[in-house]
Amino acid sequence: MAKLVECVPNFSEGVNKEVIDALGQAISRTPGCALLDVDAGASTNRTVYTFVGSPQAVVEGALSAARVAGQLIDMSRHTGEHPRMGALDVCPFVPVMNVTMEECVTCAHLFGQRLAAELGVPVYLYGVAAREESRKALPAIRAGEYEALPEKLAKPEWAPDFGPPTFVPRWGATVTGARTFLIAYNINLLCTKELAHRIALNLREQGRGADQPGLLKKVQGIGWYLEEEDIAQVSTNLLDFETTPLHTVYEEVCREAQALNLPVVGSQLVGLVPKKAMLDAAEFYIKKENLFILEEEQKIRLVVNRLGLDSLSPFHPRERIIEYLVQAGEVDGGLVAKPLGAFVRAVGGRSAAPGGGSVSAAAAALGAALGCMVGLMSYGKRQFEELDPLMRKLIPPFHRAMDEMVAMVDADSRAFSSYMEALKLPKTTPAERERRLAAMQQGLKTAVGVPCALAEKVGAKMLEAAAFGAYFNVMINLKDIEDEKFKQAMSQKVSRLLEEAKQGSALVLALLEERVA
């Protein structure tokens, strides 16, 4: 599968539309780069671009935009609410799909080296790409901002990682690095900049200093005022949204604001957001308010409403959630995107994949879908009103299983393909044969992993059929695996799961017999 890296360059221009457009065109015209989002801010005088591509392509795209910035942006005239130190202020590389963090570190190093060589500007490394512990945090490098650079560059301890230790007035300095997905999230307040900053200091991890840390881990924060919207904002960066989720930041700002008698009037996501961050927030509000919502689209709509994400501008999920954008750009939607007839013909084709694992996953998805259908047809009807609490418990697992099984249709096909690719490896020399055999063994282990995971999840006749299919799919592939310990453990596990599925099916069918008797 294709490797995908996200690059999020922040340029110090948020007002001049011609410059903003020129930078975007430089990225979008770079072969292999897909520009997903452009977020310009007049008060911050800053534009955040988000684009994806292969590791090589995103480096070229960032360099193309940097060359344009070198011609069109003059930092000696720049002012804005956001901290900054360069025309291209910061340029992080983020792993999205089939890419390791190490590969993103390589992207940052290559980009920094080439940027410094081509434009003759100082470049610093931060995040995972940093060579020194003191440079891991972006605020530490950017302390003093552009105005402090002449003095800072003269100090040996602040010599740049790439480029000359000299002040370039038009450019300033650039920071590049590798990091996990960062969410730029701002909460709107009707108050002064100072009050917003007071809340930011209370919440951000850094707090007011080492002796007064803030409440929220992995969160950076600052308070500022947006003149064009006539509101203040607590502006935050969520460095790890699983440590501190979106809804936690919003709720804590609301709590702090309430203590100061300040109104919160929605919030704003800058750039893109991972789908999981939105769904985690949805689950929080569903639990908090005892709601019953199943569909992903409705969960996203709930979050937009509860966080007020459309308070400053419309929030279109298909344009703001990174998985949706990547999905939209894919030419091949996989097996599950095919019409049923085409899927059946693909299974019947002269190829080992898709095969039994994908068919078992499809059968399991249909079994879970039938369970979900029956539950939804009962839920909310007056004659079955006493069953509503039970249905609220039973329907979500069926719905989740349905989605998980659909994903496994393609996952199984991809897993077996890794074995098929290993078969094509060269086998002329002893070393090549050894590498090929190792790759084949790993491919087979991967191939049995998906149907085994499927067997863990399924158990009624349609689901029992899926469990049988998953069982035999595992056993067929196990016979060629030489790792006896792995074979025995996997065989025992899948046999146990099949027996559980058979017993579960028998119990369900017995209950059904009682009902229809």
* Catalytic site positions: 82, 412
- Cis ω on the peptide bond leading into residue 314 (within 30° of 0)? no
Beta bridge partner(s), residue 11: 47, 88
Element (DSSP H or E) covering residue 46: strand 46-53
Sign of the torsion formed by the C-alpha atoms of 81, 82, 84 and 89: negative
| Count of C-beta atoms within a 10 Å radius of residue 426 | 10
Of the candidates 203, 161, 162, the one whose C-alpha atom is nearest the C-alpha of residue 186 is: 203
Alpha-carbon span 355 to 18, nearest angstrom? 53
What's the one-letter identity of residue 226? L
| Total H helices, total E strands in the chain | 17, 11
- Residue 395's Cβ-side half-sphere holds a number of Cα atoms within 13 Å equal to 19
Of the candidates 2, 16, 9, the one whose C-alpha atom is nearest the C-alpha of residue 50 is: 9
Maximum CA extent, the chain? 89
Alpha-carbon span 105 to 100, nearest angstrom? 9
What's the one-letter identity of residue 90? V
Of the candidates 497, 242, 427, 454, the one whose C-alpha atom is nearest the C-alpha of residue 365 is: 454
Element (DSSP H or E) covering residue 226: strand 219-226
Asked if 441 contacts 418 with a C-beta cutoff of 8 angstroms, the reply is: no
Of the candidates 10, 26, 8, the one whose C-alpha atom is nearest the C-alpha of residue 18 is: 26
Alpha-carbon span 314 to 345, nearest angstrom? 42
